[in-house]
A = this chain, B = another copy of it.
Amino acid sequence: MIELGENRYGKRAIRLVKVVRDPDGTQVRDLTVDIALEGDFAAAHTAGDNAAVVATDTMKNTVYALAADQLTGAIEEFGTTLGTHFVGFPQVRRATVDLREHRWKPIAGAGDSASGAFRRVGDATRTARVTATPDATVVESGLEDLVVMKTAGSAFSGFARDRTTTLPELRDRIMATNVTVSWRHSGPTADWDASHAAIATTLLEVFADHASESVQHSIWVMAQAMLERHAGIDEVRMALPNLHHLPIDLTPFGGTNRGEIFVATTQPHGLIEATVRRTAS
């Protein structure tokens, strides 16, 4: 016998720009939204019966329709609005809403800062994931495309060696990564923007200050600090590629490389993933 196992469907890459024309100044909200639904959709698969199917085109329309009135606060709130909406369909058992916010900042004109002109801020994207079920809503906040580097305080040594190991022990190396991080909130947060800013500051501050023995170690140290300093979150997930910077041998050219000249590479790269959380007890 053959059966349907896990399944979900939805709309990806819904691009939404909202221009909020306030008397106090225009604001640009620029979001990419992904929706995924799970629930009683077996008949669509096995019988070609679409009666329960919320079309992905409808999902897209819903994002636009709700954005007009409901996108007034943080993406965590708008995601909750969307998740709650979709889990309101009786056939939906779980709605997952992923949101990315692309930030824009005003461009000052010569005399007047309220020009209505903006430039996109490119150094990290704020993210949120809302998972709504009929019983509960879980909110995660995060960041992606945050590219950071340590030029000091990073080592990698004392690792396992076998016949193919050629990597030298390094007590001083460049560590560079493109941070993807999310943290799960244990409950609602009064001010999502302030919470996000504070937690991101902890992440960056600890990244700067700690002495790293490996990317694994860095994840732990950063995540531990995030959990210790921010009571409202109970789990941190990180995925850190190791964007290797290889020192160039200058001796063939009569030079000496005193830890100054590197080639930045992307292929291959390490990838370290971990979850750090409060224990249940």
The smallest beta-carbon distance between A114 and chain B, in angstroms, is: 9
In contact, B109 and A264 (Cβ under 8 angstroms) = no
The smallest beta-carbon distance between A71 and chain B, in angstroms, is: 9
Residue of B nearest to A107 (CB): B208
Contact of A163 among B8, B227, B253, B271 (CB under 8 A): B253
**Interface size (A, Cβ < 8 Å)?**
141
A-B contact pairs, 6 of them (CB 8 A): A7-B274, A51-B158, A56-B270, A69-B255, A116-B150, A117-B148
In contact, B9 and A241 (Cβ under 8 angstroms) = no
In contact, B149 and A117 (Cβ under 8 angstroms) = yes
The smallest beta-carbon distance between A142 and chain B, in angstroms, is: 16
The smallest beta-carbon distance between A87 and chain B, in angstroms, is: 14
- State whether the Cβ of A147 lies closer than 8 Å to any Cβ in chain B: yes
List of B residues within 8 angstroms of A12 by Cβ: 241, 268-271
Q: Complex Cα distance A11/B147, Å?
A: 19
List of B residues within 8 angstroms of A256 by Cβ: 68
List of B residues within 8 angstroms of A158 by Cβ: 49-51
Q: Complex Cα distance A13/B261, Å?
A: 16
Of residues 25 through 62 on chain A, the ones whose CB sits less than 8 Å from some CB of chain B are 26, 28, 30, 36, 41, 44-46, 48-58, 60-62
Contact of A116 among B36, B109, B147, B152 (CB under 8 A): B152
Q: Complex Cα distance A236/B92, Å?
A: 24
List of B residues within 8 angstroms of A107 by Cβ: 148, 204-205, 207-208
- State whether the Cβ of A3 lies closer than 8 Å to any Cβ in chain B: yes
In contact, B16 and A261 (Cβ under 8 angstroms) = yes
List of B residues within 8 angstroms of A232 by Cβ: none
Of residues 95 through 146 on chain A, the ones whose CB sits less than 8 Å from some CB of chain B are 104, 107-112, 115-124, 145-146
